[in-house]
C-alpha cells in the first residue's frame, strides 16, 4: 500500500524534490499554476512573498481528498549588493550573472512558506547562506556554461558541479535549492501542533 503523503510541494524543482526525498519525506507534487508576482524592494521580502504565494495558491485549490494536507512553497535567489539574481533566461544572461558573481562573497536566500487550505500561511521564513566564488576569466565562465547550457539555478550557478565556489556560512542544501535542516525542524513542529487540534 502506498504511503500517504506528508505534504504537497508547490514546486517542480528537481533539486527540491531530490533533497526532500533524500531526507525521507513522502509528498505530492503540484507546481503553482499561476505566474509568480513581480516583486520590488528588499530581496528577503521578495522571496517570502513568492514562497507564500505559491504555497497559498496551491493550498486554496486542493480538492476535498487533500485539503487537510499542508502545502510547502519555496523561492530561491542569489543576492549581490542588495540586488536579486534569479534564473537566467539565456546563456548571455547566465554569463552576465556569473561575471558579476565571480570574485565575490554573495548571499543565497530561500524563502519557505507552509500553508493549509483552512488557515492560509502557517509558517514562513528566509534561510541565508554565504557563497564565496573564485575570480574567473571570461573563458572559464564560458567553459562552465558550455557544460551546463540549460542552467536553471538562481544566479546560473550549480554549486554541486563546480569547484570554483563554496558555501562559507549557512546551509549547503539551501544553496542547492532548499534548506532541509530548518524545514525539518519547523515542519515537525507544525505537524505536532496539527495533531493536537
- Domain tally, the chain: 1
Any domain includes 142: yes
Concerning whether 75 is annotated as a catalytic residue, the answer is: yes
**Which pTM was predicted?**
0.91
pLDDT of residue 40: 78
pLDDT in tens, 129-181: 999 999 999 999 999 888 875 567 888 888 888 889 999 999 999 999 999 99
The CATH code of the domain that includes 32 is: 3.90.950.10
Any domain includes 126: yes
Give 104's contacts (C-beta < 8 A, 6+ positions apart): 80, 132, 133
Percentage of the chain with pLDDT > 70? 94
Grid cell 522571496 — which residue?
Answer: 47
Residue 162 belongs to what domain range? Answer: 7-196
Report residue 36's pLDDT band, with 50, 70 and 90 as the boundaries: confident
Any domain includes 32: yes
- Cβ count near 43 (within 10 Å): 21
Bigger pLDDT: 3 or 21?
A: 21
Catalytic residue among 45, 63, 75, 158: 75
Cα(99)–Cα(44) distance, integer angstroms: 23
Cα(140)–Cα(120) distance, integer angstroms: 46
Cα(194)–Cα(7) distance, integer angstroms: 13
Amino acid at each position: 500500500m502506498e504511503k500517504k503523503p506528508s505534504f504537497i510541494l508547490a514546486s517542480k524543482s528537481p533539486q527540491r524534490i531530490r533533497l526532500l526525498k533524500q531526507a525521507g519525506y513522502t509528498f505530492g507534487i503540484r507546481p503553482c499554476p499561476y505566474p509568480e508576482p513581480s516583486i520590488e524592494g528588499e530581496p528577503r521580502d521578495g522571496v517570502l512573498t513568492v514562497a507564500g504565494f505559491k504555497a497559498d495558491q496551491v493550498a486554496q485549490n486542493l480538492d476535498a481528498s487533500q485539503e487537510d494536507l499542508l502545502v510547502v512553497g519555496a523561492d530561491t535567489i542569489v543576492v549581490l549588493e542588495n540586488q536579486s539574481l534569479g534564473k537566467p533566461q539565456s546563456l548571455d544572461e547566465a554569463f552576465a550573472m556569473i561575471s558579476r558573481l565571480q570574485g565575490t562573497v554573495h548571499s543565497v536566500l530561500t524563502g519557505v512558506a507552509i500553508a493549509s487550505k483552512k488557515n492560509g500561511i502557517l509558517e514562513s521564513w528566509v534561510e541565508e547562506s554565504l557563497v564565496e566564488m573564485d575570480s574567473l576569466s571570461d573563458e572559464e565562465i564560458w567553459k562552465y556554461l558550455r557544460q551546463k547550457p540549460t542552467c536553471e539555478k538562481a544566479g546560473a550557478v550549480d554549486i554541486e558541479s563546480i569547484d570554483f565556489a563554496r558555501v562559507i556560512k549557512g546551509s549547503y542544501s539551501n544553496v542547492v535549492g532548499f534548506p532541509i535542516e530548518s524545514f525539518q525542524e519547523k515542519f515537525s513542529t507544525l505537524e505536532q501542533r496539527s495533531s493536537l487540534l
